Chain A
């Protein structure tokens, strides 16, 4: 009965993922400024998310192996790490495709790109370690301990490091409703120049015009090649940004960044300035949001199937080796 149920679930997963792919191309609308390439987030973000789940599951089984010393736990740890590696590579590749369209290059050593590459290398070393030790029990013990160290780095490399970095083109704050990049606070009589993303922003003036505060901000892109003078405004009575001038992003034809004046203090001459990068607010569209959620569920289900199947194969491999009397012999 459970086998039949599992088969039904697998067929349902196949249809579900097919539906996600169809919705990705035919239902999700184009994102302004990104064109069709914006659809890639339906794959890119869930694969990155499943990466973190996979490495966490792998670490869980490694702890269980060290505790109980069951071979099946070690097999599950390896299988989850392998699946996580595949999803991590997928996230990296889809991200590079996105970067090519939005930033103009596949790879530019952005903090997000660098951190995910380091994560891939850390887990590649895990597999190398496993293949370097012949003694089966030592291999499992060493690999389990290493896996715990690798798992500790994962949240830092996936979530913390790219956000701590001052200069990143990756739209960090795009996908959580209500969550926004913090922007920068500039002061006419103090710090009037700061870095926002890869853009150098300078507050040149701040004055009141009726019910509006009008700022003059000069934006210089990375490399300081292009410069824009913008005049974002802030409505004092409502306390909300009013005019949001746009400017073109680096090396991306047709891509638009939006500047907003999020708060002002006219007495002290300070203004909080933010830039909406491409991708920000992508999930405000309902169809995109549902397709995104369905992709998260689908990819998670696919990961569960993958790692359980791989773990079962590893266990069977050992059982066959024990039967044949070749257990523990190197290939």
Chain B
């Protein structure tokens, strides 16, 4: 590997490294550019799907009572008086 540091070759080695770095940067930018374009196309063309319905939770309340099923709309936070 010492020949890479030989003054006669070192400038070509440096050039090769710098070109490789630039190639990598260019490839990354090109890929990002393509992906951004594709995402924009999809956002422009695909209709917006309706929002997913809110999840309906089922809670079991155990306070010495038999299990009781309530929906999340019916559920109330327990108060001090409940205890």
Size of interface on B: residues with Cβ below 8 Å to A: 20
Interface stretch (choices A98-106, A146-154, A184-192, A306-314): A306-314
Contact residues in B for A3 (Cβ distance below 8 Å) = 37
Among B23-64, those with CB < 8 Å from A are 23, 26, 29-30, 32-33, 36-37, 39-40, 43, 48, 51
Q: Is there contact, CB below 8 Å, between A319 and B18?
A: no
Task: Decide yes or no whether A155 CB sits under 8 A from chain B.
Answer: no
Among A271-289, those with CB < 8 Å from B are none
Give the total number of A-B pairs whose CB atoms are below 8 A apart: 47
Q: Is there contact, CB below 8 Å, between B32 and A18?
A: no
Contact residues in A for B48 (Cβ distance below 8 Å) = 323
- Tell which of B11, B26, B40 touches A25, judged by Cβ atoms closer than 8 Å: B11
- Tell which of A14, A22, A25, A313 touches B32, judged by Cβ atoms closer than 8 Å: A313
Q: Is there contact, CB below 8 Å, between A25 and B15?
A: yes
Q: Is there contact, CB below 8 Å, between B36 and A316?
A: yes
Contact residues in B for A53 (Cβ distance below 8 Å) = none
Residue ID in chain A nearest B43 by CB atoms: A319
Contact residues in B for A325 (Cβ distance below 8 Å) = 51
Size of interface on A: residues with Cβ below 8 Å to B: 20
Q: Is there contact, CB below 8 Å, between A17 and B43?
A: no
Contact residues in B for A26 (Cβ distance below 8 Å) = 11, 15
**Could you list 12 A-B pairs, sorted by A, with CB under 8 Å?**
A18-B19, A22-B15, A22-B19, A26-B11, A305-B33, A309-B36, A312-B36, A312-B40, A316-B43, A320-B39, A320-B43, A325-B51
